[in-house]
Structure 1
């Protein structure tokens, strides 16, 4: 009888298939922070340079849009007499108060509708109906309800920032792993401790996404709120500048609103980096 040697089967490899190309994944190289910062500032600097060049060449008339030098002079003028600092303080106070109320309301409603089936059945439909209403259409109604004081402005900002936080929170809570919830319930964790220890950490990415949207929308709502017969704030400066055809002050106020929106987005990004340090910061290319 002939014995056949038993041994490991020959493995198929590149030698057996000479035309086979071994895939080599292309990993993105990390970019230095200085380069990233330079690229991010390139766009605004190019926009500023085009504005300055168009003003210097006479393409932009001062009656249409003031030059950067004129806007800078208006900023120094308003800063020296204290008008700019007072307006910034008032506008930031309105935005922070309205945003805080909106975030708290959106977080609470999102947890209730996302965690409780009864809460979803009772609250989600009317909240979705209210979310479909443009918040600017509520300005006349708020003026009737709350007058033309600070309450109407703060409530308008709060309403505008509630729904992005609500939608993101409710979606994040619903997407928490149900097996994890059942495991925690089996250990006796229920109610608010379960929400605090398991649900909110599991929904953290969605919560931060809602926070970022609400932060940006708070600046837009602030612009609308300060059009309600304001006697202080950046909106009041714009109204006064419009009365006297001061395009330099108008341009300055628009720039301030833009800077506030940019700072709001940077704050939200910073919160994401602090609360979720494991999240990749570089986009896939």
Structure 2
């Protein structure tokens, strides 16, 4: 069975400049999900100017909302830009989001979710909608109530990260509950896939799941699914193309430095002694100092 691979949305990390670099140097990803967008105080969405650029591979813009009106507005905006699918974030675990009944904070309120989806699908939007969610906020029973809602609608996909919102990224994913949910709906699995062997274990267990979303594992080691690639060479090539993309898309020098720091946050964990060097890199205030520390990181390989 062919297995599709998705790159998970991670705020500040899986930006379009990064996805372009990953696709051109590594590839092997079937869908790239953007970090979430949400409305500003005036009720409109602010999009980076580079989002007008629709790349020649499958990008799925993600939205964080609990409002049917905002969801429809986002879908219309993305359709105008040529995107064919959007993704609704029902999984973000961070307190500032959860306290506003957004992300995983919406999961204890299935009726509100039902109302939003009902209005959206009654509009016959020309854009496909998928959802990414957790098992619940504080109670794993949330997932069963939410799945009863989701099963009523023609969603493109349901992506489940089998943790609770309050867990954030601690503890282990509950693949047993994921297994129960997979019996009633075709799912995409996501959560703590950090090696090719780990992915294979999940694929053998869940033979009815034909797509897996990977986040931190691929950010840490872009060669994870292609072990024949040289890690250092891959990182150098990705870095140069990522930097070119940032400049092409008009990032300021300050923004570029911040993006380059994000670029190394996860790969530094792949290297023995990398975390120590990254702590210094994170504090640097100039591209010149950054270059010195980047070479130190690469020298650890």
Q: TM-score band (shorter)? A: under 0.3
Pick 1 or 2: higher relative contact order, CA cutoff 8 A, min separation 6: 1
**Normalised TM-score (structure 2):** 0.20
Report which of the two structures shows the higher radius of gyration computed on alpha carbons: 1
Greater share of residues in helix: 1
